[in-house]
Amino acid sequence: MKKILTISEAGKLIKSDSSVMIGGFLRCGSPARIVDEILKNDIGNLTLIANDTCIPEADRGKLIVNKRIKKAIVAHIGTNPETGRQMDAGEIEVELVPMGTLVERIRAAGAGLGGVLTPTGVGTIVENGKTIMEIEGKKYLFEKPLKADYAIIYATKADKYGNLFLQGTTRNFNTVMATAADVVIVEADELSEEPLNPDEITIPGVFVDYIAI
């Protein structure tokens, strides 16, 4: 059985100065209510790992606007002008990572791998400061695993054993992030009294620490 929390209690688990993976692709599959609690609790100086910094008025975007993020490791920031403004002003550090590479770095951490090799970025500024390896005449960048202190993810439905079902495209980054953090906190729309049917489980409960309703 997993520990069942309120959304308010879940927000209090996150500590300042920590690294936090937050699931979602823009607003799809985002744990927006827990993010709101982070704001209420004045938690800051966070390293954000996410697909994007969303939009200024929603979940991850609010953390940017309220200057709770010291560094963002993301695939794109174009939908949140405030991220770009803070980056240009030196108020936030932004590490832009190609989306496929970002997913693979997270997956590598979850799988216990030492890193991944990718041709993406070879011959561009992405390769600056990175190890370049040549295999069978083709160049690859060595990318290190990416893990976090916390992963805050979303689920359409959870059972008390931590098994999760995610509807459609809400799966996005949530599934891989569940494997790559020390503490995994789930914001679920629904808590099932009965165990989920194995055929509908998207993320097994072994990866989950807390369920917030």
Q: Where are the domains of the chain?
A: 3-115+146-212
| CB 34 within 8 Å of CB 9 | no
pLDDT one-digit tens code per residue, 150-191: 999 999 999 999 999 999 999 999 999 999 999 999 999 999
- pTM of the model as a whole: 0.95
Q: What gap in Å lies between CA 31 and CA 210, rounded to an integer?
A: 13
What is the bridge-based pairing of β-strands 46-49 and 69-74?
parallel
CATH 3.40.1080.10 fits 3-115+146-212, yes or no: yes
Q: What gap in Å lies between CA 117 and CA 104, rounded to an integer?
A: 9
pLDDT one-digit tens code per residue, 62-117: 999 999 999 999 999 999 999 999 999 999 999 999 999 999 999 999 999 999 99
